[in-house]
Amino acid sequence: MEDSTAKTALTTSSPFIGPGLASGSMISSQLGIAFAVPLMLTHGSFGISALRLGFAALICFAWVRPKFRRFERRQWIGAFALGVAMAMMTMCFFTAAKLIPMGPAITIDFLGPLGLAVLALRGWPRLILPLVAAFGVLAVSYGSQGKLLDPAGILFALGAACGWAGYIVLMRLVGRLFSAQEGLCLSLIAAAVLALPAACFLEPPAHWLGQLPEVAGLAMLSPLLPFALEMAALRRMEMGTFSIVMSLEPAFGALFGFIILGQALSLRQIGGVLAVMAASTGAVLLPVMTRPAPRHRLGAPQPTICNIPGE
């Protein structure tokens, strides 16, 4: 039932709805991160990101009101796995954005979805595109004065990339296992249950528990709204198209980092951002462009084109 619903959505929805939802997700996510950076610098990134997951789970639960008793075992497993990916991606990326500028952080983070796309390639693109992406990451890893960015920030961004790769695969799976937003709600609850104890262990709760009002508002911008928009987009778009649209996220991160936080990038870093975006787009488009055209068998009837009056 869920698979047929997803296929129907892919074929009947407007071609602009999916890209619009994905674009809204990127804008909301990067705005939420930019507004949260000053808060994280003062009160810590682990606690603030865990609180955001907790508030997002509470809001989603109040909105969706899932009926837990009717879920099957495979649905629980899928939702929990997605929750693990959400917690890893969110806490690692927010910590990276605290330690290094947003543009480089999201560019390194984007290696996750790019890696998924590269795994499906064959031949020379599978060798060349990772080199282009590696060049881009190397370029953004050095600041405007030629100094290497905080190595811990780079490592956290790589951890977020691993979480993002798992998130993409599992988000599509959970979107097919559940109807409406129930899968997202269960996954957010699992992510919050994992993230909050980890944050208490990593940072003293007294540093961040007093920021509940600010974090509650930021939780709507990121992660709740982006997660909901991405799940809706994946119901209406093929994975390849979704990946192409989402390759714009490093540009949004660099833009909002500059406008809101004053994080100007050097020309080398801008080139690195563009290189990773180009590698991501190429990883999706090249298999389509190089796919051989279907051959008609000899003697088989050829299709005819009929001009219908009024068209």
pLDDT of residue 293: 54
pLDDT of residue 143: 78
pLDDT of residue 5: 47
The alpha helices in the chain, defined as continuous H runs, are: 2-12, 17-43, 45-64, 73-99, 102-109, 111-119, 125-140, 151-177, 182-202, 212-219, 225-236, 239-246, 249-261, 267-289
What's the pTM? 0.81
pLDDT of residue 9: 47
d(CA 102, CA 162): 18
pLDDT of residue 243: 76
Residue ranges in the chain whose pLDDT is less than 70:
1-14, 144, 180, 287-311
> Which pair of tokens denotes residue 148?
């290497």
**Burial of residue 155, with CB atoms counted within 10 A of its CB: 0-12 exposed, 13-18 middle, 19 or more buried:** middle
pLDDT of residue 67: 85
16 membership: H or E segment, kind and range: none
pLDDT of residue 311: 40
pLDDT of residue 1: 45
